Amino acid sequence: MIQSAGTILVGSGAKHKKTKANLEQLKAKDNQLVRGRFHWHEYPGGVFSFVYKKYKGDPVVRYDLKDGEVYELPFGVAKHLNNDVGRWEHSYLLDKDGKPSKMASSRVRRVQFESLEFMDIEDIGPRQIEEVKIEDLPPLKD
């Protein structure tokens, strides 16, 4: 959630007026329990541990999720797992002389919470990630 003057930006750019009623409505939606299967793509069979707190006044909650297990989690935690837990993968592109000239980046999902009930794909699915390119990198040193 990004806050700016007069608006709260949630998810993929949806704008809501910054009011206490809307904030309470968003908080209530994020606290609804959803059932799903947790997947940890980097360490199959492992236990993924993290702490989560989104709203002021909420307690910090620790989660220990085992790959492949079914859980009931708050909707906000499920969105966080699907949208925010990832890493950037970098690659260097070489020009015709063999020198790095551009760097391309893509986001790789580390974990996934697969819904076992109906959910709005727009709310729970992965964000659209645009490719980032940086041109004219200095040559790599050996």
User: For residues 102 and 135, is the Cβ–Cβ distance under 8 A?
Assistant: yes
In angstroms, rounded to a whole number, what is the distance separating the alpha carbons of residues 128 and 85? 14
Give the model confidence (pLDDT) of 73-86 as tens digits: 999 999 999 999 98
Least confident of 3-7, 87-91, 124-128: 3-7
Q: Give me the pLDDT at residue 98, please.
A: 81
CA atoms within 13 A on the CB side of 42: 9
Task: Identify which has the larger pLDDT, 4 or 120.
Answer: 120
pLDDT surpasses 80 at 9: no
Instruction: State phi, psi for 55 to the nearest 5 degrees.
Output: -110, 145
Q: What is the mean pLDDT of residues 18-28?
A: 86
Give the span between the Cα atoms of 135 and 64, in whole angstroms: 41
pLDDT at site 1: 40
70 vs 99 pLDDT, higher one: 70
Res. 25: pLDDT tops 60 = yes
Look at 9 and 108; give whichever has higher pLDDT: 108
> 7-16, 70-79, 87-96, 125-134: which has the highest mean pLDDT?
70-79
Q: What is the pLDDT of residues 93-124, one digit of tens each?
A: 787 888 886 676 788 889 999 988 764 545 54
Contact call for residues 52 and 61 (beta carbons, < 8 A)? yes
